[in-house]
Amino acid sequence: MRIDRSNWQDVASPRIESDWSVVIPAAGKGTRLGSSLPKILYPVGGRPILAWLFDLFLPSISGPIVLVVAPWSKDAVQKAALELAGEDRVKIAVQEVPTGMGDAVEIGVTQVTTQNVAVVWGDQVALRKSSIEAVFRVHEGPLQPAVTFPTVDRDQPYIHFERNADGNIVALRQAREGDPMPPVGESDTGFFCFQTLILQQLLADSRKNGQRGSATGEFNLLPILVDAAIRQYRVLTPRVVREEETVGINTPEDAARVEEFLRSERYAGVETHG
C-alpha cells in the first residue's frame, strides 16, 4: 500500500497518543558553514538550529530529546539546551569518537525508555510540524509498523533505496560510500521513527555483523532500515514530507535556502494531506 498525502489519515491514529523520545546526532562541526560553533548552534533565521528542532519536537513528545554530542562541544551544547528547554526535557550523551550515525544513535538510544523513538539529523530544521505529526500518527496507527520513515524522490540523490517487484525495500545505495547512483532516487528525509526495542535490537545485530561503510568505514544508521525490511518487520515509508522540507544545512547556501523556505507561505500554510 502506498501511503501519501491523500490517504495517510486512513492508516493513522486519531492523535499522537503513545510515549515518544527523540535522538539527535549533534556531534558535527560548523566548518563548512564558516563557523567555529558546533553545527547545531549555527544560527538560521536568527535562531540556533537547536531552537528550531526543540520547537518542532518537544510539544509532541513526553520523553526527552537526547543530544549526542562530541566531547569538545558538550559544554556549549548542554548550556544552550538547558537554557532553551530545561533539564527535564533534555539529555546529553557523548560520542567520544566520530565513527558514524549508527554509532551515535546507538549511544543516544541507551537513554531512551519510551515505547517509540524518533531519530532526526541535527540540521533538519525545515521539517514542518504537520509533517512530523503525520509520521508519528502513521507509526502509531493500526498497521503497527516497527519502522516508519518518510521518503521523497530526488534528482541526483545521495541516498537511494532499491525495491523489488513487490515494492519491498531490498537494498541501499549511498553516494558517500562510492555506490553507483541512479539519476533519480528514493531518499530518506533525515527523520526516522522506530519502536524503541526494535531499534536497539537492529543496531546490536548490525554491529555484531560488522556493518561498516565500504568507503568511510563508518557504522551507519541507514543500512538497518534495509535489514528491518529484509527481516520482514513492517516498514512504512509514507510520502508525506515535501522535498523542500528535507534540505540539510551544510553550507551558507543551504542555510539561505532554508531561511527562505521558513519565511514562505509554503512553510506556514501547506498541509501534508493537501
pTM (2 d.p.): 0.95
* Structural domain span for residue 173: 8-269
CA dihedral 35, 40, 43, 45 (to 10 degrees): 140
What are the φ and ψ backbone dihedral angles of 39, each rounded to 5 degrees? -55, -40
Please report whether residue 17 resides in a domain: yes
* Tens of pLDDT, residues 142-201: 999 999 999 999 999 999 999 999 999 999 999 999 999 999 999 999 999 999 999 999
Please report whether residue 165 resides in a domain: yes
Type of residue numbered 50: L
Please report whether residue 141 resides in a domain: yes
Q: What is the mean pLDDT of residues 70-87?
A: 95
Query: How many other CB atoms are found less than 10 A from the CB of residue 18?
Result: 13
Please report whether residue 3 resides in a domain: no
Residue 269 pLDDT grade (very low, low, confident, very high; cuts 50, 70, 90): low
Please report whether residue 158 resides in a domain: yes
Number of domains, the chain: 1
Please report whether residue 274 resides in a domain: no
**Res 271 pLDDT > 60:** no
Please report whether residue 2 resides in a domain: no
* Tens of pLDDT, residues 50-62: 999 999 999 999 9
Please report whether residue 62 resides in a domain: yes
* Tens of pLDDT, residues 218-233: 999 999 999 999 999 9
The CA distance from 99 to 204, in Å, is 15
- The pLDDT assigned to 31 comes to 84
CATH (domain of 58): 3.90.550.10
